[in-house]
């Protein structure tokens, strides 16, 4: 049986009486690449803030590699690295200086600092830009610098909070490669995203959160199987887009043939977005069904 | 470990300061030199206070004022930017260091900036008022003044919800202190009721101590004690504020 890296049980967080995270329970195995999906405002970032000790839960319990996030804060902090959703580099410093600050805060010796920084700059292909001020490099480079910074203490667990938001398609693929590489190198990855294709491309298992509640949990393929592997999209005047799901193409074709006067019909493989639509009636990016 | 972690936090701010120190030094000298010209030479020429020229009287007050504003801004504005604009303060909160090391590190950059500005002004001031005495007691007072107002800056930055809040705090708290904290006039010249009110201001005690030390007068130890009480109060409040941030 594999050991658990994250154990969340009955986690809730309230702000002024409003539940932002509501009775969340899930676990992530060591070495797993887990996707935490949901639209903006679903409670993903609040959950990450609790998992990383920045915010205290209202109720429930979270263990990171066996350490309680409320009671063993110092031990928890030594276990993880994080790439936050927003740019969180010190913009008065160069890329290398940002890494050095982090290495100092994680008590690396001067020799180890030097070696580790050079190693990580090479890992994220930023060696040539090490001495550039943060504002003088592109968005993708900043994101890679944040990944390098997160890896400084050789963390067993990596939190990636929307790591590719705002990046172009090419840079996003590059970051995906890095995420796979980090996971292959042994790190457990907890990835939050509202990009469905990102979760499908990277994650072995995913949880879907909506209004603070976990509404689905499992392997992407299993979640798709539950609603049907084939999706039929119907666009009819006045009613917006309607979705129907079928276990196979034959059943979907049969359904389409029986449709009266629908204007546009498309048959395709279902995805995690469809799982979300089926469970919530909304698209992940917020459109109503 | 506390000292090492605090230095790590300070290190980043020192690197940033080193990158732009000539600009910093020039801008930091503008206000005190203007005060010196306006109040010391302009308004105060010919005024004598208990056998001391007004110029000699006002220089330690301006040093206290400079220490206050540069320490407050050096620590507070910096932290406010890190927290609300760069968002890099969260990274420090998630690092495996104690919260008091983090706050001390953030306050120390205010102390460094405060001391640099005050000493730079002192050098200029001594060219025109060479009788100013700079001894260990003066430097001790300067250090405690910088530390106290650095922690006030840290506290304000932790409580601020926007950049404007820092400006509002400075207008409501620092600006009145600038003119009422015994910097430009002697407290013996104000009505008794107001005098006691002015004793509630930390800058008043910084001015009293620095002036006494600079003019070789008997030292007001009570003022140093009051400054230390303010320092402990600001540091404790900052610690509570940073703990509350995670709720």
- Chain A contacts to B (CB-CB under 8 A): 52-56, 74, 77-78, 80, 82, 84, 86-93, 97, 101-102, 104-107, 149
Beta bridge partners of A264: A235
Cα distance between residue B82 and residue B69, in whole Å:
19
* Secondary structure of residue B48 in the 3-state scheme: strand
B85 contacts A96 by C-beta, under 8 angstroms: no
User: Does the ipTM surpass 0.85?
Assistant: yes
Which B residues 94-153 touch A at CB under 8 Å? 94-97
In chain A, the largest separation of any two C-alpha atoms, in whole Å, equals 73
Run of H or E residues at B52: strand B52-53
In the predicted structure, residue B61 carries a pLDDT above the cut 90: yes
CB contact under 8 A, A101 and B93: no
Q: In what order do the strands lie in the sheet with A59-64?
A: A18-29, A4-15, A59-64, A67-68
> Is the minimum CB–CB distance between B21 and chain A shorter than 8 Å?
no
Residue of B nearest to A75 (CA): B96
A-chain residues near B79 (CB < 8 A): none
Question: DSSP letter string over B122-155?
Answer: HHHHHHH-TT----HHHHHHHHHHHHHHHHHHHH
Q: In what order do the strands lie in the sheet with A230-236?
A: A240-246, A230-236, A264-269
CB contact under 8 A, A105 and B92: yes
A-chain residues near B9 (CB < 8 A): 105
Q: Per-residue pLDDT tens, chain A, 289 aa: give them.
A: 569 999 999 999 999 889 999 999 999 999 999 999 888 888 998 999 999 999 999 999 999 999 999 999 999 999 999 999 888 999 999 999 999 999 999 999 999 999 999 999 998 999 999 999 999 999 999 999 999 999 999 999 999 998 888 888 888 888 899 899 989 999 999 999 888 888 888 999 999 999 999 999 999 889 889 889 999 988 876 677 888 899 999 999 998 888 876 668 889 999 888 888 888 776 655 443 3
Per-residue pLDDT tens digits for B140-163: 999 999 999 999 999 999 999 998
Enter the pTM of the model. Answer: 0.86
What b/e readout covers B71-85, taking b as 16+ CB neighbours within 10 angstroms?
bbbbbbbbbbbbbbe
Tally of domains in chain B:
1
Question: DSSP letter string over chain A?
Answer: -PPEEEEEEEEEEEETTEEEEEEEEEEEETT-EEEEE--TTSSHHHHHHHHTTSS--SEEEEEETTEETTT-HHHHHTTEEEE-SS--S-TTSBHHHHHHHHHHHTT--HHHHHHHHHHHHHHTT-GGGTTSBGGGS-HHHHHHHHHHHHHTT--SEEEEESTTTT--HHHHHHHHHHHHHHHHTT-EEEEEES-HHHHHHH-SEEEEEETTEEEEEE-HHHHHHHH-SEEEEEEETTTEEEEEEESSHHHHHHHHHT--S-SEEEEEE--HHHHHHHHHSB-TTS-B-
> Is the minimum CB–CB distance between B88 and chain A shorter than 8 Å?
yes
Q: Which two tokens stand for residue A15?
A: 């702000």
Cα distance between residue B37 and residue B24, in whole Å:
21
A243 contacts A277 by C-beta, under 8 angstroms: yes
A6 contacts A190 by C-beta, under 8 angstroms: yes
- Residues whose CB falls within 8 Å of the CB of residue A197, separated by 6 or more in sequence, listed in order: A271
Mutate to test the interface with B, among A51, A101, A109, A147 (most CBs of B within 10 A): A101
Residue owning tokens 């303010």: B230
B-chain residues near A86 (CB < 8 A): 87
Per-residue pLDDT tens digits for B68-88: 999 999 999 989 998 998 888
A96 contacts A121 by C-beta, under 8 angstroms: yes
CATH topology of domain A4-218: Rossmann fold (3.40.50)
Q: Which two tokens stand for residue B85?
A: 């604009």
Burial of A17 (0-12, 13-18, 19+ CB in 10 A): exposed
Partner residue opposite B90 with nearest CB, options A80, A88, A102 = A88
Q: Whole-number mean pLDDT of chain B?
A: 91
Cα distance between residue A85 and residue A162, in whole Å:
5
Angstroms from B29 CA to nearest CA on chain A: 22
Range of the domain at B142: 2-244
B-chain residues near A80 (CB < 8 A): 94
- Better-scored residue on pLDDT, B205 or B57: B205
Confidence at residue B189, expressed as pLDDT on a 0 to 100 scale:
82
Residue A25 to residues A109, A215, A284, B150: CA-CA distances in angstroms?
A: 39, 11, 21, 43
Q: Which two tokens stand for residue B94?
A: 């998630």
Partner residue opposite A90 with nearest CB, options B12, B95, B97 = B12
**A218: how many CB neighbours lie within 10 A of its CB?**
15
CB contact under 8 A, A82 and B19: no
Q: Which two tokens stand for residue A223?
A: 């979640």
Run of H or E residues at B94: helix B89-94
Residue of B nearest to A74 (CA): B96
CB contact under 8 A, A77 and B94: yes
Cα distance between residue A189 and residue A80, in whole Å:
10
CB contact under 8 A, A93 and B12: yes
Beta bridge partners of A61: A9
């Amino acid at each position: 049986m594999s050991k658990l890296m994250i154990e969340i049980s009955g986690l809730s967080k309230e702000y002024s009486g409003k539940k932002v995270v509501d009775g969340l329970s899930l676990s992530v195995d060591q070495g797993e690449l887990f996707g935490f999906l949901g639209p903006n405002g679903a409670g993903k970032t609040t959950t990450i803030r609790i998992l990383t000790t920045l915010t205290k839960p209202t109720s429930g319990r979270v263990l990171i590699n066996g350490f309680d996030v409320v009671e063993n804060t110092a031990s928890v902090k030594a276990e993880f690295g994080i790439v936050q959703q927003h740019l969180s580099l010190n913009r008065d410093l160069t890329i290398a200086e940002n890494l050095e600050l982090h290495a100092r805060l994680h008590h690396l010796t001067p020799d180890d600092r030097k070696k580790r920084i050079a190693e990580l700059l090479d890992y994220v292909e930023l060696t040539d830009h090490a001495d550039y001020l943060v504002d003088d490099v592109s968005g993708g480079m900043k994101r890679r610098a944040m990944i390098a910074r997160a890896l400084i203490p050789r963390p067993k667990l990596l939190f990636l909070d929307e790591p590719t938001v705002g990046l172009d398609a090419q840079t996003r693929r590059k970051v995906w490669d890095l995420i796979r590489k980090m996971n292959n190198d042994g790190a457990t990855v907890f990835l939050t995203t509202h990009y469905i294709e990102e979760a499908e491309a990277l994650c072995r298992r995913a949880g879907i959160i909506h209004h603070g509640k976990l509404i689905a949990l499992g392997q992407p393929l299993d979640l798709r199987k539950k609603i049907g592997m084939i999706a039929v999209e119907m666009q009819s005047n006045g009613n917006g887009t309607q979705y129907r799901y079928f276990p196979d193409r034959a059943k979907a074709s049969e359904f389409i043939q029986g449709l009266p006067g629908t204007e546009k019909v498309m048959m395709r493989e279902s995805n995690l977005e469809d799982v979300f639509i089926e469970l919530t009636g909304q698209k992940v990016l917020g459109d109503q069904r | 470990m506390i000292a090492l972690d605090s230095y790590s936090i300070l290190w980043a701010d020192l690197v940033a300061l080193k990158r732009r120190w000539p600009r910093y030094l020039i801008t930091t000298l503008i206000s005190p030199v203007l005060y010196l010209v306006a109040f010391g030479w302009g308004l105060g020429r010919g005024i004598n206070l208990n056998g001391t020229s007004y110029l000699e009287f006002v220089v330690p007050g301006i040093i206290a004022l400079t220490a206050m504003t540069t320490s407050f801004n050096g620590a507070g504005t910096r932290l406010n930017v890190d927290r609300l604009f760069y968002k890099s303060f969260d990274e420090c909160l998630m690092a495996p260091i104690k919260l008091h090391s983090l706050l001390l590190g953030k306050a120390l950059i205010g102390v460094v900036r405060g001391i640099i500005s005050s000493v730079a002004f002192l050098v200029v001031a001594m060219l025109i008022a060479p009788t100013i005495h700079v001894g260990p007691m003066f430097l001790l007072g300067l250090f405690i003044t910088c530390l106290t107002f650095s922690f006030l800056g840290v506290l304000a930055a932790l409580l601020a919800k926007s950049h404007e809040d820092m400006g509002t705090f400075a207008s409501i708290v620092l600006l009145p202190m600038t003119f009422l904290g015994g910097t430009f006039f002697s407290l013996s010249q104000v009505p008794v009721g107001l005098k006691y009110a002015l004793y509630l201001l930390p800058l008043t005690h910084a001015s009293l101590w620095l002036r006494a030390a600079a003019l070789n007068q008997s030292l007001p130890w009570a003022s140093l004690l009051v400054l230390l009480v303010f320092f402990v109060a600001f540091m404790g409040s900052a610690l509570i504020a940073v703990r509350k941030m995670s709720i």
